[in-house]
Amino acid sequence: MADDVMVAPGGEAGLSQIERVVDVFVAPSKTFKDILRSSNWLLPLPIMAIIGMGSAFAVDRTVGYTAVAEQQMMKNSMQADRINSLTPDQRANAIAMSAKWTRISTYCSFIFILIFVAVHSLLLWATFNFGLGAKTTYGQVFAVVMFAGLPKALIWVLSIVLLFSGVGLDNFDAQNPVGTNLGYYMTLPALKALGSGLDIFGLWALALLVLGMAIISKKTIGQAAAVVVGWWLLGMLALTGIAAAFG
């Protein structure tokens, strides 16, 4: 997975990791074609980790994880009923414990992203190779998913700016911090979950993923879209169903 060889098979110089990251936003085809040369994906990880921890720090300093934990509990009707049935001391202890774990998991969010990328990549790799007869490697698919997901890091960047500007502190939602999607403006849990998928940066990343998978699998955009968007729709339906059942 090392990016040692800097010359592509056709004789053209390969991209550096920084060039790959920049090209994801300005010339994405170059980045994804370069993954055929090398499946190195190590630069997006520290970028996501730094921005993610920066967002976690912003929440810590402005909203506070006690308020975040309490707000998340009140969003879930079953949890809200359980919390409201406790004595004041029990309620305070439960919120403090939830705040502790919320704080830890938020600072370590990049680890959960890495796990999600690993599973998502496995599904795409299997579907393209066994369903469409492609000959991609798991490393190539993993790299495409990592680079294609970079636009979603801009949600954290916007969140940091807004939090330190004092915008939206009273009704901050850690699961949906910025109003770049329809779900942000909904109240019903199922609609919030469904609308959260219609995010400007999320759809941008989805389009990049379709393009990247088409390039490395050597399939058409339509074939790639059928697989990538199909899995995305299944995920959205699952999240909406869970929100409807437990919201």
pLDDT tens track for 214-226: 999 999 999 999 9
Is 86 within a domain?
Answer: yes
Q: Is the pLDDT of residue 7 over 50?
A: no
pLDDT for the residue 247: 61
Tens-digit pLDDT profile for residues 23-48 = 999 999 999 999 999 999 999 999 99
Q: What is the mean pLDDT of the chain?
A: 90
Q: Is the pLDDT of residue 204 over 50?
A: yes
Q: Let me know how long the chain is.
A: 247
Q: What's the number of domains the chain is made of?
A: 1
pLDDT for the residue 12: 61
The helix/strand/coil state of 49 is helix
Tens-digit pLDDT profile for residues 116-137 = 999 999 999 999 999 999 999 9
What average pLDDT score do residues 45-60 get?
95
Is 12 within a domain?
Answer: no
Is 200 within a domain?
Answer: yes
CA distances from 186 to 152, 216, 232 (A): 21, 38, 21
pLDDT-based confidence at 22, cuts 50/70/90?
very high
Is 88 within a domain?
Answer: yes
Q: Is the pLDDT of residue 8 over 70?
A: no
Is 9 within a domain?
Answer: no
Percent of the chain with pLDDT over 70: 94
Nearest to 20 by CA among 2, 48, 39, 1: 39
Q: Of 116 and 191, which is predicted with more confidence? A: 116
| CA–CA distance, 222 with 96 (Å, rounded to integer) | 49
Range of the domain at 111: 17-246
| CA–CA distance, 34 with 143 (Å, rounded to integer) | 10
Residues 6+ apart with CB under 8 A from 233: none
pLDDT-based confidence at 242, cuts 50/70/90?
confident
What average pLDDT score do residues 162-187 get?
90
pLDDT-based confidence at 5, cuts 50/70/90?
very low
Is 38 within a domain?
Answer: yes
Is 11 within a domain?
Answer: no
Asked which of 6-20, 55-69, 164-178, 194-208 is least confident by mean pLDDT, the reply is 6-20
Question: Measured on CA atoms in the order 247, 197, 118, 158, is the torsion positive or negative?
Answer: negative
Is 165 within a domain?
Answer: yes
Asked which of 50-54, 66-70, 140-144, 190-194 is least confident by mean pLDDT, the reply is 190-194
pLDDT for the residue 6: 45
What average pLDDT score do residues 1-28 get?
73
